[in-house]
Amino acid sequence: MLPNPDQRLDPVCGMWLDAEQTVTTYTYLGVTYAFCARECYETFARTSEQIVAILAHEPRGHCGYLCPGQRRASRTTLPR
């Protein structure tokens, strides 16, 4: 499924975000990036130069980091 044109991609974890899902943004070299969680924002803020270099060569448009929101969503409860 293609994302809605109004959605933005979190460059750290790859989650597509609607405006109400965006926790914060960060502008680096004139480009504003949106983040799904504080942890993704902090990762980008600490390593902006390295992440932007990765993004320049990454066809998915994100680094593939598994953020807390994705870890919660991917957990399954096994029956006992």
CATH T-level fold of 8-74: Ribosomal Protein L24e; Chain: T; (2.30.170)
Tens digits of residue pLDDT in 22-77 = 999 999 999 999 999 999 999 999 999 999 998 888 888 888 888 766 666 665 44
- Overall pTM surpassing 0.85 (yes/no): no
The CA–CA distances, whole Å, from 30 to 2, 27, 43, 72 equal 26, 6, 18, 32
Domain ranges of the chain: 8-74
Structure tokens at 25: 């943004």
Tens digits of residue pLDDT in 1-37 = 556 778 999 999 998 999 888 999 999 999 999 999 9
